[in-house]
Amino acid sequence: TIGYSDWPGWVAWQVAIEKGWLKEAGLNVEFKWFDYSASLSAFSANQLDAVLVTNGDNLVTASGGTQGMMILATDYSAGNDVIIAKEGINTIQDLKGKSIGVEKGLVDHLLLATALTDHNIKANEVKLVNSATNQLPQVFNSPDISAIAVWQPVAGQALKAVAGSKIIYTSKDKSGLIYDTLTVNMSHLTAHQEEWKKIIQVWDKTVKYINDPATHADAVKIMANRSGVDPKQYELMVSGTHLLDINANKKVFAKSQGFDSIYGSSYHVNKFNVENGIYKTEQNVDGLIYPTLIEQLK
């Protein structure tokens, strides 16, 4: 059983489900639809064999004692995570001394912190206002909030809610900061290596189907349906998600310090999590990344 939730790189599995590719590969897999944070709780409680999770949030889960092995990167965020600012604020630099709404400890807090650091703004030079992600459009509406850090589709709602607001920074400015992964319970992975390898092959087929101009529209329709969004609108979200096939994963799982590697990206978020008190001591990142299956596949 695999837990999945409403992010384009994960909804992509819906294509494989509806086309019957998992059954065709002889796999007995059930995908269970969740609200994202509920899927992480279910994985931690051993109710799931695997979960679709960002690399950073998998480290948080590991700090709570659940060892999830990242065996595949489904995608990296390439524009779907954004910082939105009110009229008159045009750059990250303009955020100095301002109040910013964000759900602390989650991935867009990471995006915001990274953007501020890159622009030499210290943490104490801005004020962070903590809020649940789906509440951020309302928070953004209050007069003392100048900007928010948020992901799609909530970002779109926030832009509509506040006239004159605009996106001033996105995850496209920092490719590889946020990887989305298929993470498997260690004991299940050890017992079922071959099946997990087949699941990765089905993923490869899915990415090719979504990216092929001849079948792209059909794929987007299936995904939009699962999310309850109009296909035209969903198309924008798909373009903000850089899907990764087996070939791309071979590069991502090669060890390096940069954001083009899941190792470098995870080292960065590990530091961030400790600095922000999300957990107390750094996690053993290498012990949570399992490149073997990707390395064995052609």
Supply φ then ψ for residue 86, to 5 degrees.
Answer: -75, 170
Q: ∠143-148-151 over CA atoms, to 5°?
A: 145
pLDDT band of residue 172 (cuts 50, 70, 90) is very high
Q: How many residues does the chain have?
A: 298
In a 13 Å sphere around the CA of 128, the CA atoms on its Cβ side amount to 19
CA terminus-to-terminus distance, the chain: 25
With tokens 């390096």, the residue in question is 256
Domains 2-76+178-296 and 81-174 share a fold: yes
- List strands edge to edge, sheet with 127-130: 127-130, 99-102, 147-151, 81-85, 166-170
Cα(155)–Cα(190) distance, integer angstroms: 39
Average pLDDT across the chain, whole number: 96
pLDDT of residue 218: 98
Confidence band, pLDDT 50/70/90 cuts, at residue 52: very high
Q: Which residues contact 72 (CB under 8 A, 6 or more apart)?
A: 181, 182, 200, 203, 249, 293, 294
pTM, two decimal places = 0.92
Where residue 37 falls among pLDDT bands split at 50, 70, 90?
Answer: confident
Residue/partner pairs of 135-138 with CB below 8 Å, 24 or more apart: 136/101, 136/102, 136/103, 137/161, 137/162
Q: What architecture does CATH give domain 81-174?
A: 3-Layer(aba) Sandwich (3.40)
pLDDT-derived band of residue 105, with 50, 70 and 90 as boundaries? confident
Domain range list for the chain: 2-76+178-296, 81-174
Which residues are 81's β-sheet partners? 151
Question: What's the pLDDT tens digit per position in 205-259?
Answer: 999 999 999 999 999 999 999 999 999 999 999 999 999 999 999 999 999 999 9
Residues of the chain by 3-state class (helix, strand, coil), percent to 5: 50, 20, 30
Strand residues in the chain grouped as ranges (E): 2-4, 31-33, 50-54, 68-77, 81-85, 99-102, 127-130, 147-151, 166-170, 179-185, 241-243
Q: Which fold has domain 2-76+178-296?
A: D-Maltodextrin-Binding Protein; domain 2 (3.40.190)
